[in-house]
Amino acid sequence: MEDLIVLYEDNQVIVVVKPQNVPSQADITGDLDMLTIVKNYIGKKYNKTGNVFIGLVHRLDRPTGGVMVFARTSKAAARLSEQIKEGELEKKYLAVVNNRLRDKRGRLVNYLIKDEDNNIVKVVPAAIEGAKKAVLDYNTLEYAENTSLVDVKLLTGRGHQIRAQMAAQGCPIYGDVKYGDLHKGRLALWSYSLRFLHPTTKQIMTFKVFPPVVAPWTQFAIEKYINIVKPE
């Protein structure tokens, strides 16, 4: 894979860009994963021998790319995990979806259950045993032909959440064959913004990164909607 893109690092956290189709952590495929990549980067840069501690505090689905934060100490890992639990770590995504959502902006609340055999998440009635509540806010930014550019803020962190909820609205994400789209190519879902409190300094840290400059992203004037702010 390409060299690791590091947006920020200090002795407590490291913020990087995860390429699409790279797992967040080791899985059954045995493919190189982000946790290992970050460990190798830290070990090589600082000439560390033995096991390097890197805490995985959140994940992106394998087909999804974008900004991720990893903890460099157990204290940072615990404090970032607590922020996630309390809903204080803010994750925003851009998605290109097919068709138009019924309302230009709104909140989607569904209950999801995972079909382990097919590795797919289904929207089900709340009464189904094992179903987990999934909530997101969305805002449609722009339309192009039969697709929409949507800004999504996750309020819960379920696997395949955005993909399943958009598909349930009749608006599967571009490139998401698993959830009903017919376009081949990479999934048009990108984690473009991450905001959290630094675990020791308590400074508000915000990181933003543009999606790849390829179709279908190039149909939209994304630079109008993302203000890249470099941390001090």
Residue 29 one-letter amino acid: T
List 61, 137, 151, 176, catalytic entry: 61
Contacts 24+ apart (CB under 8 A), 197-201: 197/83, 197/88, 198/12, 198/13, 199/12, 199/13, 199/71, 199/75, 199/76, 199/79, 199/80, 200/12, 200/75, 200/76, 200/79
CA 165 centroid distance within chain? 15
Q: Does the annotation mark 61 as catalytic?
A: yes
Query: Are 169 and 178 within 8 A, CB to CB?
Result: no
Residues identified as active-site: 61
